């Protein structure tokens, strides 16, 4: 039996719980990983998701900013949270989730710092934070691979806030000096990916030169017509799990739902 995982920067889970419900109804993912939930744990709309069948949840939230959560129709047997850069931000949560075959998957859900507007760490602390976050990820993967990974396979998802490939942005040339696509960021993300051999399964299934986007700015008067997007949201699999990926999708249409997030959900179906 398959397991479908969705990752979505929801940009306020209380404001857009109805959109999560629509995703659940239309695509029926077994696991939904949310970023930018923007609410403390006590205010998380648990009841509405339990009614949809997501009775198992792992949550790490804070008031007004950041926040990550994992909703699962399958039992969660263990959870963990890691803090990065000593900032006290809620940007990571992991859960070991039972699969229909009787094993477990470890799912890491990340919200990487956006990095502000100026791609210079000397004058922009937000950009310096983003680069430090990537460095800490690499150190963690290098120093504790058994803590990160799992014997039955590992999934890393989230809003990584970097569009790594030229085909992951609407204009490679025009965005080379724009935060999310600068060489220092794309090189840093590639070092993160390569450290444990993570497989970018969305790009494995839809390779370049086809363009793929998961984010479109709210500033665009007509986001669909201009289509100036970036692929900031990712699903990576550990090398042993990658062959289990059967299908991937970026649900572009969700960007046009009523009162949308500026991100679209990314989905992958696995046969672990």
Q: Is 216 left (phi over 0), alpha (psi -120 to 50) or beta?
A: beta
Residue 261 has pLDDT above 80, yes or no: yes
Residue 166 has pLDDT above 90, yes or no: yes
The domain spans of the chain are: 3-270
Cα–Cα distances in Å, from 40 out to 19, 55, 63, 110?
19, 19, 5, 17
pLDDT in tens, 100-152: 988 999 999 999 999 999 999 999 999 999 999 999 999 999 999 999 999 89
Supply 224's token pair: 């669909």
Spatial distance between the Cα atoms of 156 and 4, rounded to a whole number of angstroms: 14
Helix (H) or strand (E) segment spanning residue 174: helix 172-175
Q: Looking at residue 93, what is its pLDDT? A: 98
Q: Looking at residue 169, what is its pLDDT? A: 98
Fold for domain 3-270?
Answer: Deoxyribonuclease I; Chain A (3.60.10)
Query: To 10 degrees, the CA torsion angle through 120, 125, 128, 130?
Result: -110
Residues 6+ apart with CB under 8 A from 260: 16, 19, 254
Supply 108's token pair: 């890491």
- The pTM of the full predicted model, rounded to 2 decimals, is 0.97
């Amino acid at each position: 039996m398959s397991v479908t995982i969705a990752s979505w920067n929801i940009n306020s889970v209380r404001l857009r719980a109805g959109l999560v419900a629509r995703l659940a109804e239309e695509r029926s993912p077994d696991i939904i990983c949310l970023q930018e939930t923007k609410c403390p744990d006590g205010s998380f709309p648990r009841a509405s998701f339990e009614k949809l069948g997501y009775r198992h949840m792992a949550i790490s939230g804070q008031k007004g900013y950041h926040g990550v959560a994992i909703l699962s129709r399958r039992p969660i047997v263990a959870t963990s949270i890691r803090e990065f850069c000593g900032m006290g931000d809620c940007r990571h949560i992991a859960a070991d989730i039972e699969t229909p075959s009787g094993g477990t998957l470890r799912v890491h859900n990340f919200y990487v710092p956006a990095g502000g507007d100026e791609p210079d760490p000397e004058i922009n602390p937000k950009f310096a934070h983003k680069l430090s976050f990537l460095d800490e990820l690499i150190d963690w993967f290098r120093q504790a691979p058994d803590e990160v990974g799992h014997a039955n396979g590992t999934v890393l998802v989230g809003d990584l806030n970097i569009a790594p490939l030229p085909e992951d942005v609407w204009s490679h040339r025009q965005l080379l000096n724009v935060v999310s696509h600068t060489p220092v960021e794309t090189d840093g993300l590639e070092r993160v990916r390569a450290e444990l051999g993570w497989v970018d399964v969305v790009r494995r299934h839809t390779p370049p030169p086809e363009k793929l986007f998961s984010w479109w700015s709210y500033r665009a008067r007509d986001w669909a017509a201009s289509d100036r997007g970036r692929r900031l949201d990712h699903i990576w699999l550990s090398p042993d799990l990658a062959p289990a990926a059967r299908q991937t999708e970026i649900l572009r249409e969700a960007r046009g739902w009523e009162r949308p997030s500026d991100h679209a959900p990314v989905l992958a179906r696995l046969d672990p």
